[in-house]
Structure 1
Amino acid sequence: MPSQHAVLLPENKDIPPVKFLINTSLLSCLLALAGPALAAEPFILDDAAYRRHVQTLASDEFEGRAPLSHGEQLTLDYLQQEFKRLGLAPAFGNSYLQSVPMAKITADQSMQLKVGELNFANGTDFTARTQQVVPRVELKDSELVFVGYGIKAPEYGWDDYAGVDVKGKTVIVLVNDPGFATQDPALFKGNAMTYYGRWTYKYEEGARQGAKAVFIVHEDAPAAYGWGVVKNSNTNTKFTLVDQDNNQSQIGVMGWLQYAAARQILAGAGLDLEALKQEALKPGFKARNLGLKANLVLNNQIERAESHNVAAILKGSERPDETLVMHGHWDHLGAAGEEGKKEILNGAVDNASGVAGVLELARYFKELEGADRPKRSIIFSAFTAEETGLIGAQYFAEHPPVPTAQLVSFLNIDGMNMDKGVDYILRYGDGVSELESYLSDAAKAQGRSVKPDPRAQNGLMFRSDHFALAQQGVPGLLFMSLGDTDPDYIAHKYHKGADDYDPAWSLEGVSQDLSLISSILNRLANNNDWPKWLEESDFKKRRALDGR
């Protein structure tokens, strides 16, 4: 007999709720005609289970799910319990957990930056931190060099470091990239930020060039956030991975400069910042040795600890070595505020909603039987410390349970649409990889359109866990709904105490998007495709090293 599921029609003020039956076998056939290689049984959201996951993970008891906290242990216990209940095997040998070695670095905030006769105040004029696991980092009469955007991008014919030696020196660079500054679509990617515009790249390139410190000049629009975000993110305890050399290959000082402070420094060298910004918009920009010296001392308190990634695996029926990853980061920000006035930041949408989605997709694929069972393996994962720099994802990417050459793709949920469904799906990136065609096909099968990222200038494609896998050559898709369906979310809930579970959520958007994701996963899990990078990039070069 054809299988059937009860479905509740969306409520509105004129039509009472009506329960009716869908012949899901017939629906499956219709869906199969709309898109290739879809499952015989379509995804149906278990509303009660999904709500239970979000409500539990985002409860005050879990204390905001900060890494290295009691909330982490509760989260790990819950996720392992759920994977066991579903009957999924551990992804890391005989364990669901992957230890992630981390350092907790707290810099003494009484530091001052001195440039010649000028003194700058920490938090007000500048911020500085390090990921080197050492008790002290010092800039002592460090020569200052202005290097435009600090970009070395052969594919764009761009090299701000050409003809200048910055070894052991302090570099000042502009935020974002020339495409955003000019809004010229022929320059880099115009309004859409490239990775060359991300602050992480600026520090990485500075380290490759041998610089001792990099200070990024902050401006609200190209940074996509105000100075308050920079200050709050860089003047407190930070986490980092630890390598065998205590991260000595990384830049010594990761700094930001208030625009007014940067202008004052350059004026001290007889230069005008606005004029230099205009020069830096053209290829062939010549770096300027400023003839000034910087002095700064970072005194750090170091603690070492281990956090954990969590993952389970569903082995493929025919090609178990070929593996997909379905993911959502489990961590959030813990609590904020002074002792006695702390507010728990529960992160219900960001990202208990995504972890709950991963658990629901794990249930769905585990229940598929016979000919419907995926031919390739699927790892269902939740990583630590996404909010503090993709740390868990980076460790997983560098120490995967299967070689990266066997990872087909990485699908990442970082915040779901918890309310009404919409007639579109957001696409992060454009012309990046062949996975974009999978997204288009799945959206079309649902009668939806693909809408480009409305905040492409913010570089969201580089700010969630899939990016760490991209750096190892594994193509991915980001599914994120933070603010596009709830305009109030970014302003009043994102990374704030108001991001709590709400029993009034309809979950129509969740059901809609998880159905779309399940169709993409199922297609990839049963075909022979290895989605390729489309544009020339380090990601494409890295994938080629794996023979893909």
Structure 2
Amino acid sequence: MLRKYLFLGCIGLSASVLATPDKVVFSADNYQQQVKTIASDAFEGRAPMSAGEEKTIQYLVQELKALGVQPGYFGDFVQKVPMAGIAASQDMQLKMGPLTFKPGKDFVSRTQQVASRTELKSSAVVFVGYGIDAPEYSWNDYQGLDVKGKTLLMLVNDPGYATQDPEVFRGNAMTYYGRWTYKYEEAIRRGAAGVFIVHETGAAGYPWSVVESGATGTKFTLVDDNDNAGELEAMGWIQTDSTRALFTQLGLDFDELKAAAAQPGFKAVDLGIHADLQTRHWHQMGESRNVIGLIPGTSRADEYVVLSAHWDGFGKKVGVKGDNIFNAAVDNATGVAGVLELARMLKQRKQPLQRSVLLAFFTAEETGLLGAQAFAAQPPVPTKNMVALMNIDSMNMTGESDYVIQYGQGLQELEDWLADAAVGQNRHIKPDANPQNGLFFRSDHFALAKQGVPGLLFMDLGDSDPDYIANRYHKPSDEFLDSWQYGGVRQDLELIYTLTEKLGNSDAWPAWKVGAEFKPARDADLATR
């Protein structure tokens, strides 16, 4: 039976709370109340730069203060995150050589430039295979290629998924290089003007409808001092059939070139055509906020374990019939409440941990991990002082389980720490059932991983409740439910607490394993300690 505990000051205190000086326990009552509050209509879906954000930030700061948590961002609880909301007009047309493509049906495109108009004008089109430069895998699709000012066509995912060969990249499991975010970033570093990723449902992990709906609304982006002028003029996706039709018109076989691109030594193909695209944009400048708390350590106070969750949802949407508030209860009020409950448990300790704990509540995860990126770019402490990060992005609300889901495999020593902690609960590690979808690279810990900080993702998006993905995920129906059971939450939070305790009282620095994409950044960081 699920045990429920009350605050120390409440009548009916459970004797187990006082069993040992540092024996702290999960409180289902506290956790339930936190989720119910954060996911309520009063918070208006918690969209960045909205009235719902203001209420959320005030609530989180209030709760951290009530727990006795200190400000964690240069003496403040809040990190300001300058952002812009950008929407692209859908009256655009993309011309590539002999063909003209229609928005939505054939392609989608947007930009992160804060500009009223962007343009591809007679931009040479090059097929660059997977658009990957990965020294650790001895792979470079850009070898000897100058792509400045050009428009690049590239494939989604990586050659490991294409070949299903475990000796190529990581086989079926997506790597960092398979993510569309990397592909855009690499193209920007090389001065490309535009990028269109060829969409395939299996390789991407989602259908075209997800791509289309995600590109047609307002998208948020971080803003630099030059209004993001260095970003791509056009960053988008193009349908496989549309790409195949283009190649056929050019006398090329798309499927043959796709197969060739999955083999070592592939050479990019200049298609001998040009791309033209004019896009009008509307933009709104603004500011969102991360909330950062600190629980100071003792003898190793300048070393930090980070616990995080994103607070944002999709807010209220105009034109939705009936309930138009996207309460984002499972994703991710459950994670926010989880970090608050962990903070309460840590503050109950008689003896603080040797290392400090940073509590991070990030904004704009749903629109590109923006809050986490801002934190990684301007952290309150150097990343070389961050021991590890544990990120919660939804929790199991259906009761106890005998397993812990592990996202990413063979990447970092933290996986071994996780396995040991699971055994201590009589549970086992369950590998991600769909590693080709790259979920390890799609939540906030990834922004810190790119800076070298090892991180674990705790997420239950439908694994314990398949109906959730089908009917509630990113919909107004993702609401607090009285039917929820908290045994699984208790298990996972106690596991995260155990990991935090072990890391917090250790002198260990869990490393990335040989071949992991983020090992060089960590090695360089730790070399300066």
Question: Shift of the alpha carbon at 1:251?
Answer: 2.5
Please, what is the CA RMSD of the aligned residues?
1.9
1:282 aligns with 2:278: no
Matches within 5 A, 1:5-24: 7=3
Partners of 2:278 and 2:94 in 1: how far apart? 8
Question: Shift of the alpha carbon at 1:535?
Answer: 2.8
1:541 aligns with 2:520: yes
Out of 277, 282, 285, the position equivalent to 1:304 is 285
Q: Deviations over 1:187-227 (max 9, x none)?
A: 11111100111111111111122211010000111011000
* Percent of residue pairs bearing the same amino acid type: 52
Aligned partner of 2:175: which letter? T
Aligned partner of 2:440: which letter? M
Out of 485, 491, 508, the position equivalent to 2:487 is 508
Question: Shift of the alpha carbon at 1:260?
Answer: 1.3
Runs of 4+ in 1 over 6 A off after TM superposition: 19-22
2:136 is matched with which residue? 155
Aligned partner of 1:237: which letter? T
Out of 89, 99, 103, the position equivalent to 2:84 is 103
Out of 121, 128, 133, the position equivalent to 2:114 is 133
Q: Deviations over 1:27-61 (max 9, x none)?
A: x7xxxxxxxxxxx6344221121111111111112
Partners of 2:17 and 2:289 in 1: how far apart? 39
- Aligned 8 A contact 1:43 1:515 in 2: no
2:104 is matched with which residue? 123
1:377 aligns with 2:356: yes
- Aligned 8 A contact 1:347 1:500 in 2: yes
- Aligned 8 A contact 2:31 2:337 in 1: yes
**How many aligned positions are there?**
520
Partners of 2:346 and 2:56 in 1: how far apart? 22
Higher deviation after alignment, 414-423 or 163-172: 163-172
Partners of 2:323 and 2:400 in 1: how far apart? 35
- Judged with a 3 Å threshold, the aligned counterparts in structure 2 of structure 1 residues 273 and 42 are, in CA distance, closer, same or farther, namely farther
1:35 is matched with which residue? none
Q: TM-score, structure 2 length as denominator? A: 0.95
2:253 is matched with which residue? 272
Question: Shift of the alpha carbon at 1:340?
Answer: 6.3
Q: Deviations over 1:463-489 (max 9, x none)?
A: 000000011111111001111111111
Question: Shift of the alpha carbon at 1:153?
Answer: 1.1
2:398 is matched with which residue? 419
Q: Deviations over 1:242-296 (max 9, x none)?
A: 1122223332211100111111221222111111111111011111111111110
Q: Deviations over 1:143-185 (max 9, x none)?
A: 1111111111111111111233221110000111111112111
- Aligned 8 A contact 2:136 2:517 in 1: no
1:391 aligns with 2:387: no
1:409 is matched with which residue? 388
- Judged with a 3 Å threshold, the aligned counterparts in structure 2 of structure 1 residues 496 and 535 are, in CA distance, closer, same or farther, namely farther
Q: For residue 188 of structure 1, give the secondary structure of its aligned residue in structure 2.
A: coil
1:521 aligns with 2:496: no
- Aligned 8 A contact 2:292 2:359 in 1: yes
Out of 282, 295, 311, the position equivalent to 1:330 is 311
Q: For residue 7 of structure 1, give the secondary structure of its aligned residue in structure 2.
A: coil
Q: For residue 546 of structure 1, give the secondary structure of its aligned residue in structure 2.
A: helix
1:231 aligns with 2:212: yes
Partners of 1:492 and 1:154 in 2: how far apart? 42
- Aligned 8 A contact 1:24 1:41 in 2: no
Partners of 1:82 and 1:24 in 2: how far apart? 21
1:70 is matched with which residue? 51
2:28 is matched with which residue? 47
- Judged with a 3 Å threshold, the aligned counterparts in structure 2 of structure 1 residues 43 and 23 are, in CA distance, closer, same or farther, namely closer
1:456 aligns with 2:435: yes
Question: Shift of the alpha carbon at 1:339?
Answer: 6.4
Question: Shift of the alpha carbon at 1:422?
Answer: 0.5
Higher deviation after alignment, 349-358 or 335-344: 335-344
1:249 aligns with 2:245: no
1:363 aligns with 2:333: no
Partners of 2:163 and 2:316 in 1: how far apart? 40
Partners of 1:52 and 1:445 in 2: how far apart? 28
Q: For residue 286 of structure 1, give the secondary structure of its aligned residue in structure 2.
A: coil
Q: TM-score, structure 1 length as denominator? A: 0.92
2:456 is matched with which residue? 477
Question: Shift of the alpha carbon at 1:532?
Answer: 0.8
Partners of 2:317 and 2:243 in 1: how far apart? 30
- Which structure 2 residue ranges, 5 or more long, are not aligned? 6-11
